[in-house]
A and B are shown apart, each in its own frame.
Chain A
Amino acid sequence: MSYLYDTQRVMRQKRQNALQRGLVAVLDVGTTKMACMVLQFDARNDSEVRLSAGTVLDHGSFRVIGVATTRSRGVHYGEITAMEETERAIRTVVQGAQKMANVRVDHVIACLAGAAPRSYGVAGEVELENGTVTSLDIGRVLAACDMPDYGAGRETVHAMPVNFTLDHRSGLTDPRGQIGSRLSVDMHLLTIDTQAIENLLKCVKRCDMELAGVASSAYTSAVSALVEDEQELGAACIDIGGGTTSVSVFLKKHMIYGDSVRMGGDLVTSDISKGLQMSHHAAERIKTLHGGVIATSIDDREMIEIGGDTGDFDHDRRRISRAELIGVMRPRLEEILEEARMRLDASGFDHLPSQRIVLTGGSSQVPGLEGLASKILGQNVRLGRPMRVQGLPQAATGPAFASTIGLAMHAAHPQDECWDFELPVERIGGRPLKKAMRWFKDNW
């Protein structure tokens, strides 16, 4: 906990510096596409910790001044598998965004789709020392949470206090200043593989930039795709991306569950490629242009040219009906949605008051997916597009950019995390020099 607290704290400091300078880049490392946005912030001095989640709509204080996307390379299932390739892709996308923004950015906040996110609910409880809740008490109660044994190769990316209970009153978002004797907290912890973060860190560093924060794309896509009411009343966001499908559940404006399924649109493409015997490139094109999940009678008559460059006339001039294409795509998409359903069931989504499910991500654009999803996930399904942010070009407003835009919004208005609070001194580490430094820092 202490090590993690320190590293996250360092990243938080970098983020603060970047916001102070008014310039930060967000980088979405996806399986099929990599997107980078350069954000320009209004000059502001906003370092205080807000316990309330803040209104999601309040994101007018930043402006997107540069956007670039590129085909992702070296990333599989949302994890970096080839460093060199990924570094090239990051270089491409960062240079493009910088070129558009005409500024140089040094700090980047990244989000990862894969790396096996696992979510934990933890609770902590302390006796208040002087009857009134102070910031330090919140630090203490967060430090008092009993950490689950999430394993050695895991790292916490999100640790958000979701709910405070003061004596018998629950559902407090900001207990500071209130009077009571026992303070307890429910915290949501999201861990991912350490290696994934380290690889990303290395790639970003090799691009001469500093990583100023890491987020899970399960969280960020929900931030941008869920509207405020949905976040408040409870909703699940399913971001069907290229390589992974991120699932997250929100309640009372806090993420209470996050997970990812290692399946996505790429699998659909490879199914088409294998099943209908065409190149991956052609399969991707046909999926995008003619894909669907609900076949009607006219689809039997609609023939699609496959194309090809093998030189074999019969092979290159093949035509398939759209119904065939749908027949290949539908089972895979059903499988993905069923897998997501299983994750939601495991999370206890059934018990939430609102059963709203929002589908977003690039693969959610398949026509008719909404109808298919409502059969699998429940009636209350809608397709979500990310919120509009200032300065975003039209080309980057589609559902494929949900997690990128969510990351930008997260960068502008981060929810409080555990490391935003000062932990009590005994948890920080016993080195006297460090204590002295802390004392100096606090007093000057």
Chain B
Amino acid sequence: MQQVNAPTLHDPAPSRVKYKLHRLWLTPVYRALIRTGLPVLLVLVVVLSWLRDPAVQQKIATHFDNAREAVEQRPEFMVKLMRIQGASEPVDKLVRETLDVTFPVSSFRLDLVALKEAVEDIKAVETVSILVGAKGVLEIGIVERVPVLLWRGEDGLVLLDAQGVHSGYLNSRLDRADLPLATGQGVAQNIPEALEIFRKLSPITDRVRGLMRMGERRWDVVLDRSQVLMLPETQPIAALGRILALHQAQDILNRDIMVVDIRDGRKPILRLSALALNDLKKLRLIAAGEGE
């Protein structure tokens, strides 16, 4: 049986547009653009348009915070107590006061660098190491400054360590009677020399009141009975040795002498008290046969 209407003949040729599109599709650049670039762009647009909603942003932020909180609050990361090692009682107390940390706290919340700086700001502390140790203990290792000298300044008694750094204040000299005392400007810069002088003074240590820095260049040793040993700028130790040798030989420091002046380094000049000077004059007159 014949078909009533013949099948329409289909033109096998691609249309011009179709042909060009096919060629474009075969071009690697366009192909990559369409196969990769377009889907990526689409996804980006969708995601970004979703993210632009403030409610969504809020939700994401909350979610993120919650997750963060959950991790931080896990017992493995919690710090429960603080252990301070190498600190004396008052420094320990001071450190605990300084570090205002309420335990337990998550180790993520602890700013160890800031804590370390805070502890280092305490004058009595030389170095400090802070770490979160095992079992949630905040380990603080402290090396205290060792005061070697008391310095009497305008604002009271100051403790100085070997480097000349202030490590604390004292209300009373008697709190640290074992430390030597110095005064005057520029003591902190010359601690080693001062200590050397004090060592040299050990034979008469019970008579020493302290050291005095004169004009930021030389030392005076102040003994009891207001005796003063004026030391030179250069080589004060040797000069002091000379005085002490003189004292050993002639016991001069126990005599009625106000000042031993050895500022020129070679020969000591003795200044007598007024009374002694009068007596000396009298004795000289007697010796000259002019006395009564």
Is B14 within 8 A of A98, CB to CB? no
How many of chain A's residues have a CB under 8 angstroms from any CB in B? 16
Interface 0/1 of A90-118, CB less than 8 Å to B: 01101100110011100000000000000
A208 and B20 CA atoms in complex are apart in Å by: 8
Is A309 within 8 A of B26, CB to CB? no
- CB neighbours of B12 from chain A (8 A): 70, 92
Is B13 within 8 A of A102, CB to CB? no
* Residue A179, interface by CB 8 Å: no
A92-B14, A309-B2 as given contacts; A207 in contact with B26, CB under 8 Å: no
Is B26 within 8 A of A103, CB to CB? yes
- CB neighbours of A207 from chain B (8 A): 19
Is A95 within 8 A of B22, CB to CB? yes
Is B13 within 8 A of A99, CB to CB? no
- CB neighbours of B16 from chain A (8 A): 91
- CB neighbours of A92 from chain B (8 A): 12-14
Closest partner residue, chain B, to A93 (CB atom): B13
Interface 0/1 of A72-95, CB less than 8 Å to B: 000000000000000011011011
* Residue A177, interface by CB 8 Å: no
Interface residue tally on B, bucketed by range = 10 to 19
Is B2 within 8 A of A98, CB to CB? no
* Residue B74, interface by CB 8 Å: no
Choose from B13, B23, B27 the contact partner of A88 (Cβ within 8 Å). B13
A83 → B minimal CB distance (Å): 13
* Residue A311, interface by CB 8 Å: yes
* Residue B206, interface by CB 8 Å: no
* Residue B11, interface by CB 8 Å: yes
Is B11 within 8 A of A98, CB to CB? no
Closest partner residue, chain B, to A101 (CB atom): B26
Interface 0/1 of A202-223, CB less than 8 Å to B: 0000011000000000000000
A89 and B11 CA atoms in complex are apart in Å by: 10
A70-B12, A88-B13, A102-B26 as given contacts; A95 in contact with B2, CB under 8 Å: no
Is B13 within 8 A of A98, CB to CB? no
A70-B12, A88-B13 as given contacts; A104 in contact with B2, CB under 8 Å: no
Choose from A70, A95, A104 the contact partner of B27 (Cβ within 8 Å). A104
Within 8 A of B (CB), among A276-305: none
- CB neighbours of B11 from chain A (8 A): 88
A233 → B minimal CB distance (Å): 44
A207-B19, A208-B20, A309-B2 as given contacts; A91 in contact with B26, CB under 8 Å: no
Is B13 within 8 A of A208, CB to CB? no
Closest partner residue, chain B, to A207 (CB atom): B19
Closest partner residue, chain A, to B3 (CB atom): A309
- CB neighbours of A91 from chain B (8 A): 13-14, 16, 19
Report, nearest first, the 6 A-B pairs whose CB atoms are least far apart: A88-B13, A104-B26, A92-B13, A91-B19, A311-B2, A95-B14
* 17 A/B residue pairs, CB under 8 Å, sorted by A: A70-B12, A91-B13, A91-B19, A92-B13, A92-B14, A95-B19, A95-B22, A98-B22, A98-B23, A102-B26, A103-B26, A104-B23, A104-B27, A207-B19, A208-B20, A309-B2, A311-B2
